[in-house]
Amino acid sequence: MENRLPLIYVASIGRSGSTLLESRLGQMPGVATVGELHLLPHEALSPERPCACGNLVTNCPVWSEIIREFGLSGREEMAPSLRMFREQHNAGRTLRPMELVRMLIKGVSRRNLRYAQNTLEILEMYSSLLARDALRPVILVDSSKDPYRLHALLKSGLFDMTVVHVWRNPTAYLFAVSKRFIRGNESPGALDIRRIVYSVRQVLAWNVQNAVILLAARSVPADRRLSLAYEDYVLDLDESVTSVLECTSSNVALRLKNEGSTVPTHTVAGNPTRYRSQEIVVDDAWRRELEPGYSLLAKVLGAPVFWFLRRGRNAQ
């Protein structure tokens, strides 16, 4: 299909460093990042959510027009809604059996095709609004993370897609989501059933999310997808960004090389501080602070998917 919209999709489970990568991509000439686009209907209903431009999302010169055009703050919102794979602002469902079946048979529903069309219309308006005020981007970045959304966009054929799978090892991930237990525990050696159950659930969620991303991305040509481990790419973020841009189609890659101007930043779930220069340090506190028992739990439960992730990274 000709004239498909160029799009980099960042897929991951939370706490994996995807915002860091997305932010640096947004600083590159010709690249515009929309942030986590599927959160837009939720942000449209909030008076406190900022865009990376410094305004509230509802007052942003780009997002406010999109919200009005598509009725995202009221009952007349497009159907299916962008929130189809993100029912709440801070959470979406990890397991969607019918969507998993569609992935396995490489199928897609009419509803998902309409969802992808709605996404395309929003992204096209976003690009047009940037072109009105500054410069039309060569390629957009969507860091919505969700693998079910990824599958719907891929199967629609509407996008010239590059997929970046960002992940952390399960032990580091468990530490990242357990800091409230670790740093607030007055008796580190005490048996905490609530925390054990929480840890098991989190590692299982890590397994499912990363496995479903691998499943969704299998239809993407090998030269158009990239697997990035946090512990690797944070050591040389610029090199990783270059690798991502080299995975785009040849036409887009050539246009990016010839592009000298950066694009204004307007992101959903954005924060102006994410685009300020700051020292990047590898977060390896988990090696020192995560108790041995929980470290072992994460290693054992996460071993199968972690093996596939490492194999995919080494095969690149």
| Interval 202-261: pLDDT, tens | 999 999 999 999 999 999 999 999 999 998 888 889 999 999 999 999 999 999 988 888
The whole-angstrom separation of Cα 43 and Cα 93 is 19
Among the listed ranges 85-99, 182-196, 296-310, which one has the minimum average pLDDT value? 182-196
- The confidence band for 279, taking pLDDT boundaries of 50, 70 and 90, is low
**Percentage of residues of the chain with pLDDT beyond 70:** 91
What mean pLDDT is predicted for residues 193-207? 94
Per-residue pLDDT of 116-131, as tens digits, reads: 999 999 999 999 999 9
The percent of residues above 90 in pLDDT, for the chain, comes to: 68
Name residue 226's beta-bridge partners: 164
Range 250-277 average pLDDT: 78
pLDDT confidence band for 2 (50 / 70 / 90): low
Please tell me the predicted confidence (pLDDT) of residue 76.
60
pLDDT digits (tens, 9 = 90+) for 134-159: 889 999 999 999 999 999 999 999 99
